[in-house]
Amino acid sequence: MTPEERNIAENDLVWDFVDELAAIEAAEARLHAQRVELLARAMSLADTQKARIASTDSAQRDMPLRSIAAQLGVGIRVNDRTIQHQMNDAVQLTTLFPETVAALKRGQISRSHAVVMLDTGACLDDPEVRAAFEKVVLERAQTLTSGRLKAFARQLAEKLHPQSVTERYEEACADRRIYVVEQDDGMAQLVALLPATLAYAIMDRLTQQGKAVRSAANATPSAGESDAAGSGELPIPAASDGASAGAEAEPQVVDRRGLDQVRADLLADMLLTGTPSIDPTLDRRSGGLGAIRAKVQVTVPVTTAAGASDRGALLNGQIPIDADTARRLVGAASGFDRVMTHPITGMVLAVDRYTPAAEQDRFVDARDTHCRFPGCRMPAHRCDHDHTHDYAKGGKTEITNLACLCKRHHTLKGATDWTVTQDANGNLEWTTPAGRTYIDAPAPRVQFVPDSGSAPF
Ligand SMILES: [Zn+2]
């Protein structure tokens, strides 16, 4: 085979790949359309059930939807809130953008194109305007990636939008919030969604403060090499780690942090220890808002706490953190529950900050770490302690009859035909209104076998 022949053969192969991939993509789009229509049908069943409820109480009227979303969710191992969102989106897509669903069914656009349609066009209330928008955007979707389509559709919606920027800012501003996004390697993002003026102002203040900290560090006599972005120290209750930098010189702590690191430390410091300048609670609670301190739970293998192993610990039962930070917290900080676990079996050995009345609660928090409805990860400290067998019907207040349930799933259990039982090991058996059962075991803990054979207990 000559090089030319080989090139032709390989190019033919790639052409085949492209055709095959396009066929798979179109099939996926068709399947997605089916999924959307199914979820919309599930929603209309929920609406039918809701119409039969005489009560005007909104939480009660919401129960059919929640129960159906929960049944769909546990059936495919997806969080029920996610399914409920998808049901809402499905109804919006099928009712507001029927041509988009038809295009999905024909395999002409992808799922992500449909997402763009809904995200950018749902704000258009006038049916005629919306239909015109859909027509133009669908035409563009035939030739554009979803990313480029989004930029185009946004601008078009902006032009067609009946509300002024000011009105929309007011609505968007009501949605300002702060949330945490889990990352790998013991890290997490703290994300604040704020009006742009405040976000830039906060960044500017942190930058000015950070520069001041850095120039103070540079002004210190023996801080010659401090401009390199060093490892940086966490601002957590620092046991005095004598700086090992200058061996012979006087023990001077050299600040090697870069500007980014200083800004991050300042943010954490101010949020953990600062006092808001406006405090409506000041005359009602001693210390006001400034006296409220952060509370998190750290699960530490005994060998790590004792320094015999460098295996990591868990924050709030979910997020792996490094051994040094865990030891520092176990040693010093007062606002942390310390949950000691057996290094091999993962059994909870002890939970300290012990007070007799609260011991049971702490044990249940430590065992469950999150809501015990299948698939839910609402952290334990934001859950209720539910009597699995109802207290009013003779259920006892003991650890084998208590389980963490978030508000949402606590009400779901009480207000619908979902039922649950608990065995001696803390396993919950959930039965759906339709009669299917699902077991939720207490949170499995990732276990590390200690390096040295003998454990220190
Ligand atoms: Zn829950």
Domain housing 406 = 301-440
With b for 16 or more beta-carbon neighbours within 10 A and e for fewer, the 154-166 pattern comes to: eebbeebbeeeee
Q: How far is the CA of 371 from the centre of ligand 1 (A)?
A: 5
Do 385 and 366 touch, CB atoms closer than 8 A? Answer: no
Q: How far is the CA of 91 from the centre of ligand 1 (A)?
A: 24
pLDDT score of 121 more than 90: yes
- Average of per-residue pLDDT values in the chain: 81
Judge whether 406 lies within some domain.
Answer: yes
Angle between helices 80-96 and 98-105 (to 10 degrees): 100
Judge whether 390 lies within some domain.
Answer: yes
Q: Are residues 156 and 179 located together in one domain of the fold?
A: no
Q: How far is the CA of 36 from the centre of ligand 1 (A)?
A: 25
pLDDT class of 159 with cuts at 50, 70, 90 = confident
> How far is Cα 293 from Cα 275, in angstroms, rounded to an integer?
11
Judge whether 453 lies within some domain.
Answer: no
- At 358 the pLDDT is 62
Q: Determine how many CB atoms are found less than 10 A away from the CB of residue 116.
A: 26
Q: What is the mean pLDDT of residues 191-212?
A: 92
Q: How far is the CA of 322 from the centre of ligand 1 (A)?
A: 28
Q: How far is the CA of 289 from the centre of ligand 1 (A)?
A: 28
Of 416, 436, 420, 437, give the one whose Cα is nearest residue 428: 420
- At 187 the pLDDT is 86
Q: Determine how many CB atoms are found less than 10 A away from the CB of residue 93.
A: 23
Q: How far is the CA of 330 from the centre of ligand 1 (A)?
A: 29
Q: How far is the CA of 409 from the centre of ligand 1 (A)?
A: 5
pLDDT score of 326 more than 90: no
Q: What is the mean pLDDT of residues 229-233?
A: 43
Q: How far is the CA of 176 from the centre of ligand 1 (A)?
A: 24
Strand partners, 387: 402
pLDDT score of 120 more than 70: yes
Judge whether 114 lies within some domain.
Answer: yes
- pLDDT, greater one: 251 or 452: 251
Q: How far is the CA of 411 from the centre of ligand 1 (A)?
A: 10
Q: How far is the CA of 68 from the centre of ligand 1 (A)?
A: 15
> How far is Cα 18 from Cα 26, in angstroms, rounded to an integer?
12
- At 134 the pLDDT is 97
Q: How far is the CA of 438 from the centre of ligand 1 (A)?
A: 15
Q: What is the mean pLDDT of residues 400-425?
A: 91
Q: Are residues 184 and 138 located together in one domain of the fold?
A: no
Please report how many Cα atoms fall inside a 13 Å half-sphere around the Cα of residue 324, on the Cβ side. Answer: 8
Strand partners, 421: 429
Q: Are residues 308 and 406 located together in one domain of the fold?
A: yes
Q: How far is the CA of 373 from the centre of ligand 1 (A)?
A: 5
> Which phi and psi (to 5°) does residue 121 adopt?
-105, -10
Q: How far is the CA of 162 from the centre of ligand 1 (A)?
A: 39
Judge whether 454 lies within some domain.
Answer: no
Total structural domains in the chain? 3
Q: How far is the CA of 78 from the centre of ligand 1 (A)?
A: 12
pLDDT class of 456 with cuts at 50, 70, 90 = very low
Strand partners, 348: 341
- At 248 the pLDDT is 46
pLDDT class of 331 with cuts at 50, 70, 90 = low
Residue that the structure tokens 């194109």 belong to: 113
Q: Are residues 148 and 192 located together in one domain of the fold?
A: no
Q: Are residues 264 and 343 located together in one domain of the fold?
A: no
Judge whether 167 lies within some domain.
Answer: no
Q: How far is the CA of 53 from the centre of ligand 1 (A)?
A: 24
pLDDT score of 385 more than 80: yes
> How far is Cα 40 from Cα 47, in angstroms, rounded to an integer?
10
Do 320 and 314 touch, CB atoms closer than 8 A? Answer: yes
pLDDT class of 225 with cuts at 50, 70, 90 = very low
pLDDT class of 234 with cuts at 50, 70, 90 = very low
Q: How far is the CA of 413 from the centre of ligand 1 (A)?
A: 10
Q: How far is the CA of 167 from the centre of ligand 1 (A)?
A: 35
Q: How far is the CA of 321 from the centre of ligand 1 (A)?
A: 24
- At 279 the pLDDT is 79
Q: Are residues 272 and 339 located together in one domain of the fold?
A: no
Q: How far is the CA of 228 from the centre of ligand 1 (A)?
A: 46
Q: How far is the CA of 216 from the centre of ligand 1 (A)?
A: 48
Of 296, 311, 438, give the one whose Cα is nearest residue 369: 296
User: Considering 125, 140, 162, which residue would you say is the last residue of a domain?
Assistant: 162
Q: Are residues 19 and 134 located together in one domain of the fold?
A: yes
Judge whether 60 lies within some domain.
Answer: yes
Sheet containing 336-341: order of strands: 319-321, 313-315, 296-301, 336-341, 348-351
Q: Are residues 80 and 142 located together in one domain of the fold?
A: yes
- At 332 the pLDDT is 47
Q: How far is the CA of 16 from the centre of ligand 1 (A)?
A: 47
Judge whether 456 lies within some domain.
Answer: no
Q: Are residues 83 and 112 located together in one domain of the fold?
A: yes
Q: How far is the CA of 79 from the centre of ligand 1 (A)?
A: 9
Q: Are residues 181 and 68 located together in one domain of the fold?
A: no
Q: Are residues 131 and 179 located together in one domain of the fold?
A: no
Q: Are residues 403 and 431 located together in one domain of the fold?
A: yes
Q: How far is the CA of 177 from the centre of ligand 1 (A)?
A: 21
> How far is Cα 443 from Cα 372, in angstroms, rounded to an integer?
9
- At 21 the pLDDT is 95
